[in-house]
Structure 1
Amino acid sequence: MKRFCVWFCLLLAGFAGGQPGYADAKRAETAPLRVLLIPADGGTEDGTKADFKPLFDALTRVTGLEFEVTVGQSYSAVIEGMCAGHADIAWFGPVSYMEARDRGCAELLGIEERAGSTHYYAGLFVLASSGIKSVAQLSGRRLALGSSHSASSFAYPLAVLKDGGIDPLTDIRSLRLSESHTQTLMALSSGQVDAAGASLISFERAVNQGGLDASRFRILAKSAPIPNPPLAVSTKLSAALKARLRAALGKLHETPGVKREAIRGYGGKQVDRYITDFDEASLDTAAERIAFINDDFTAALIRKAGKVQD
């Protein structure tokens, strides 16, 4: 009898713990879904977090689900947080999303569409007073880039350099890496570097917040289109819960009672809608453009940035 009871308890445990998504579904009923955001514009709780709070408040109104929104300390921290099971939903950059996706941690939840477009742009910025008129003139100069996990402050500015015939390992005199677009732009503003890579949206936001004087800057070169930063869902959530989230997010723009200004995205800007059936082939195509940035190349750039240079 004792042996039967042990077997029966194990059987029940198997049903509770072994069914995919069971624990996640039960946890979702009793606790908020954990949302983790990349620190695209400085990582402050009153910045990036405030951008997305109206969106998740609207999702709560529609689904009844609660969301706990926090901002990661870095791009890599958000990737690791998702892969370690510490986040149910994450807002990534395109590159960081693909890293988490390829590790089996994340699935696409939705990509914002704004003014009919699902893309944005990065730029290489210089001071307006500088005599730098072309990417080729960055040879022997100082450069600031963002996190190595960022598409628009790292990968795509590097692609712009490559197109301009500049090898950052041999042609750039010194390199600075930071965890936000704002920090790269501030390094340029303060004269610590001669050029900086950042998204055009982040530049606009920094100007609107009063941190930068737009008249002091000039866009030296603009990148190719970059897929908008995705919202992703953890692969550990149940299929039913993922479907529920996608259905609500995809129809949020036409849901009665939801104000359009609540549907926000990158930079806190109002967006038209979220596309939940976005063709990920577009992300893979975009990744091919920056495929030259492999692990060895990135490691070499990080080592270069670690050197003390004038």
Structure 2
Amino acid sequence: MTTLVIAEHDNKQLKPATLNAVAAAQKMGGDIHILVAGSGAQDVAAQAAKAVGVASVLLADAAHLQDGLAENVAEQVLAVAGDYSHIVFPATASGKNVAPRVAAKLDVAQISDITAVDSADTFERPIYAGNAIAIVQSSDEKKVITVRVTSFDAVAAEGGNAEVKTVDAVADSGLSSFVGREVAKNDRPELTAATVVVSGGRGMGSAENFKLLEPLADKLGAALGASRAAVDAGFAPNDWQVGQTGKIVAPQLYVAIGISGAIQHLAGMKDSKVIVAVNKDPEAPIFGVADYGLVADLFTAVPELEKAI
């Protein structure tokens, strides 16, 4: 039994989510291989080879794999899938884009967003916005799995010594082409990898008021997040959204400012180690999951909190 983990990367750096996926794969038993599909991604393959617990790294290098187009990456995964019992993706935007294509072509049921591994064929995953946990047992010969990376502690990035093997790259599928990418520049930590997150909700009132969170985030070295209500209202950009339809985070500290705590938002952050909530409504659902709650006007409380730190 051997597991293939699909690496997430930008052709220069291995993304931390890959190391969390490797940790999940270790619980499935057997050897672990990593597939790096990209262009000029030799450095990524070298980084993957150093990850603890990895036995082998497969490098598929071609120009049409550079931008991670789902159609091409899926075909590359299928080209090497024959020897693997489990194919594991991080449950990120990229993983969620590629995994269903692979599962469909293999004619197996995808097991999505797992949070625990009970055995090689039995997994746990949240349903009903995290209000219940389903235990799923698969009898498929090959198991295509996406992993909620916040549920597994990443393996060490250094200490391994896996062999890097070059595999033949598949031909360009011709089904899609890369047009362009708009990358938001941000000096703050990446939201899903940050150890501290400060999030604002609809209670912030406006995009201008969202700037009130910046001094607090600066002092805490935090990433900035937002509820879906705040994003939909135009207070914060899309890539800040935390929740069931946004990003799943589990930092050491999550500070929720002006967030009522809709079930969809809680599904994206309730695994945080310490949750602090500031809301003027004492009945707000966010206080049901908060370790520390402050019933106060955020426009008064946040500046005072920032000064006290």
Q: TM-score, normalised by structure 2?
A: 0.26
More helix by share: 1
Structure with higher RCO (Cα < 8 A, 6+ apart): 1
Q: TM-score, normalised by structure 1?
A: 0.26
